[in-house]
Structure 1
Amino acid sequence: MTRERRLGRGLEALLSQPVDADSNAEPFREQHAAAGPVDPHGTVWINVYEIDRNPFQPRHVFRDEEIHSLADSVRQHGMLQPVIVRRIGDRYQLISGERRWRAATVASWEKVPCLVREADDRQMAELAIVENVQRKDLGPLEKASSFERYLEQYGCTQEELATRINLDRSTIANLIRLLELPEAVRTALAEERITQGHARALLPLGEEREQIQVCQQIQDEQLSVRATEQLVSSLIREADGRQPLGVAPGTTPSAPRSRSEQISSLEQELRAALGTKVDIREGAKGKGRIVIHFKSHDEFNRLRSDLAGGSHGEQSRAG
């Protein structure tokens, strides 16, 4: 099944209305608009200047070269699928298909084929996420921002959003964590100087200063994601050795206990899963402590939600 067809089914599920034109029909061409307001495809031809963007669109950047390339294709071959809009007063708002709408404008089409559907604001936000989250060219921070904006606006949990848009909660959680990184790191990620994997590897570091320094080192030394993970682990171990947990500054700690490989491995797994610094402290007779670090109230709420499987998401936002 093609990505476009999967997307169409996702939109249909959210709208409870069909969104695909006849897949066996000929492509839409500009001259079809002259035949009348409604053509045999069941679509309405609407002036491109009567259509406004989806206000919930997570995509902020549309590359000119891609739009012009799509416009060339539209001129030569027509448009394979109509755009989807909703009516707002005497104008229309895009639900899906902004790239096609922009390309049609560049191709100097006066009108564009549309399917007019009903959708409230919440559905519009969900539809914008569904349309864009599957695209590889949409940046991880844009996806993360759209998730966070939706959660804040509608006061739901990550689990509820995941169910509504048919996405794994872990995907949503991992992307939202990227917004906790300092601005310098987010900028490097947005400009593709580091990858999403690099950015995630920086999350367990406890200090923004360290995250920024390692981010720069990634770029200077062209570190792989694996090398970055190893570097972060060594920095955390070094920091643990400088000041063991529970030892007051200015005092001399006792000799450190040897750590099993199993405990060290488990510690790394927890850090990777939670996206923050985690310490496992072994005591006598098999006892010990697990300490989870956080840098802000928002991060604390995020960790609490993750540990509870998302059940505290609404409470944390309400508080």
Structure 2
Amino acid sequence: MDVEVREEGAETVPFRPRLAESDFTEEASQKSDASRIALDLIDRNPFQPRHNFDDAEIASLAESLKEHDILQPIVVRQVDDRFQLISGERRLRAAGIAGWDSIPALVREADDRLVAELAIVENLQRQDLNPLEKAISFQRYLEQHGATQGELADRIKVDRSTIANLVRLLDLPDAVKSAIHSGEISQGHARALLPLGDDQLQCEFANRISREGWSVRATEQAVQQFLSGEDISDSPAPPAKKGARTKSPQIVSLEDDLRMALGSKVDIKQSAKGGKIVIHFKNADEFDRLNDYLLSGSEVDNRAA
């Protein structure tokens, strides 16, 4: 099927890098800028973080399209003789279910990097988007574009901590990530498990969260008490930590404090001649985060001097 242009002014125009779907609302309401494009000429957004769509929600939206038409066109870019979706995945799916052959669309110029950023922003604030899907979209962007977490944060206008906290979830073992995906544990639960720094322990704690219905706060307290070598009162004790008893309570307590402060696995190894503190990191961004944290106090002292 061919592209059918119903209104004037449907030529491709530069896409201004405004990073939120709501930014399209005003110009989208001006139908003079929209074309009707055949559905079978529109390809999905390859940078879409969302993999699961609510069938009932899409069906409801399809019924709304039949009754009220579409209030906001989708946004696409032209790639050779076809079009690629930038924004409006649910509307596009609903249009197909509603039996439409074509859909109003704004045609914009955008490179891969901008399309990836828009896909992230469009889904970032949606409560039903799984945190792992957000984390994967962040990590894929960082790898594909050689960007740092700080650079991505600047481009999509979010705190760097938002990106760092989500990306760190990808360091968890597969069983824990599966529990996040299925909703057995929340993002807050998962973050509380990170200081454990051991895959088996994290899996065992995740199982207990799901089985015993721990709150996020209770999980944080259990992790802290466990790392300190304490027992948890009024509930079954956490899994036994192998080798923990070989360290003095003072060393275990210090490891606990450092893990909670740094958000990373920390090992303190003591010998007759002294010892060493080992701080673990898994990638360059994690190293930069730790470096910034550890040096921040020194910079303040230097300025004061």
By the TM > 0.5 criterion, same fold?
yes
Matches of 2:284 and 2:226 in 1, distance apart? 26
Task: State the SS of the aligned residue for 2:195.
Answer: coil
**Alignment counterpart, residue 80 of structure 2, candidates 89, 98, 112:** 89
Matches of 2:75 and 2:260 in 1, distance apart? 40
Q: TM-score, normalised by structure 2?
A: 0.77
Higher RCO by CA contacts (8 Å cutoff, separation 6 or greater): 1
Question: Which residue of 2 is the match for residue 115 of structure 1?
Answer: 106
Gaps of 5+ in 1: 1-9, 26-39, 245-252, 283-287, 311-319
Contact 2:135 2:169 survives alignment (8 Å): yes
Task: State the SS of the aligned residue for 1:308.
Answer: helix
Letter in 1 for 2:149: Q
2:4 matches 1:13: no
Letter in 2 for 1:291: I
Deviation at 1:275, TM superposition (A): 2.7
Gaps of 5+ in 2: 1-14, 230-240, 294-305
Question: Which residue of 1 is the match for residue 163 of structure 2?
Answer: 172
Deviation at 1:181, TM superposition (A): 0.3
Question: Which residue of 1 is the match for residue 282 of structure 2?
Answer: 299
Question: Counterparts in 2 of 1:113-262, with a 5 A limit?
Answer: 113-238=104-229, 242-244=245-247
Contact 1:46 1:111 survives alignment (8 Å): yes
Query: RMSD between aligned alpha carbons?
Result: 3.0
Contact 1:206 1:293 survives alignment (8 Å): no
Deviation at 1:290, TM superposition (A): 8.6
Contact 1:85 1:115 survives alignment (8 Å): yes
Cα deviations by residue, 1:24-75 (Å, 9 ceiling, x for unpaired): 76xxxxxxxxxxxxxx532101111110001111111112111111112222
How many residues get paired? 262
Q: 1:309 to 1:220 in 2, by over 3 A?
A: same
Task: State the SS of the aligned residue for 1:57.
Answer: coil
Letter in 1 for 2:277: V
Matches of 2:17 and 2:144 in 1, distance apart? 23
2:34 matches 1:43: yes
Matches of 1:272 and 1:258 in 2, distance apart? 14
Q: TM-score, normalised by structure 1?
A: 0.74
Deviation at 1:20, TM superposition (A): 3.3
Q: 1:83 to 1:224 in 2, by over 3 A?
A: same
Matches of 1:83 and 1:290 in 2, distance apart? 57
